[in-house]
């Protein structure tokens, strides 16, 4: 069994926000981060050491969009080699329960957002690995 040093492990959460028309929210990344500029992403980010993953996704969505998540559901855990420093683990959430408040207000991490249908997802270049996009497609296909 391979053991990873904590510095070689990236633990993150992403959330698929689904609206009443079964469209999902995607975000365009800026150069704020050193990775993925001008590529599309889903809300979420790193889970801090000693942070509950459920709390992490709520915190990240609040920071990035000014949206309060009310209810989330884990639909997939994806892991593998692929970040420059080693292994990654992504916990993928979905939510239909959120409060838009005064609307979406993007942080400096993203320049724009779009609500897209499942059949539009391949029209966008994503920052995330293909396996994660496949997981999202599989999950969303349940709602067709």
What pLDDT is stored for residue 34 in this prediction?
64
Q: Which residues contact 64 (CB under 8 A, 6 or more apart)?
A: 27, 43, 44, 45, 106, 107, 109, 110
**139 with 75: CB under 8 angstroms?**
yes
**Domains along the chain with CATH numbers:** 6-141 (3.90.79.10)
pLDDT of residue 35: 66
What are the backbone dihedrals phi and psi of residue 56, each rounded to the nearest 5 degrees, phi first? -65, -45
Regions in the chain scoring below 70 on pLDDT? 1-7, 33-35, 82-85, 144
pTM of the entire structure?
Answer: 0.87
The pLDDT of residue 82: 61
Tell me if 2 sits within 8 A of 80, measured CB to CB.
Answer: no
b/e map 53-75, b = 16+ CB within 10 Å: beebbbbbbeebbbbebeebeeb
d(CA 98, CA 116): 17
27-43 confidence digits (pLDDT tens) = 999 987 666 778 999 99
Q: Which residues have a Cβ under 8 Å from the Cβ of 108 and sit 6 or more positions away?
A: 30, 32
């Amino acid at each position: 069994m391979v053991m990873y040093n904590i510095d070689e492990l990236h633990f993150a959460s992403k959330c698929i926000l689904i609206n009443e028309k079964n469209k999902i929210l995607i975000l365009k990344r800026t150069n704020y981060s050193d990775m993925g500029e001008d590529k599309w992403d889903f809300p979420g980010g790193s889970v801090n050491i000693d942070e509950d993953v459920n709390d992490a996704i709520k915190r990240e969505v609040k920071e990035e969009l000014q949206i309060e998540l009310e209810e989330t559901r884990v639909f997939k855990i994806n892991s593998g080699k692929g970040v420059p420093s080693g292994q990654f683990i992504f916990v993928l959430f979905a939510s239909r329960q959120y409060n838009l408040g005064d609307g979406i207000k993007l942080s400096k991490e993203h320049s724009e957002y779009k609500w897209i249908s499942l059949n539009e997802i391949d029209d966008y270049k994503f920052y995330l690995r293909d396996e994660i996009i496949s997981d999202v497609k599989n999950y969303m296909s349940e709602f067709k």
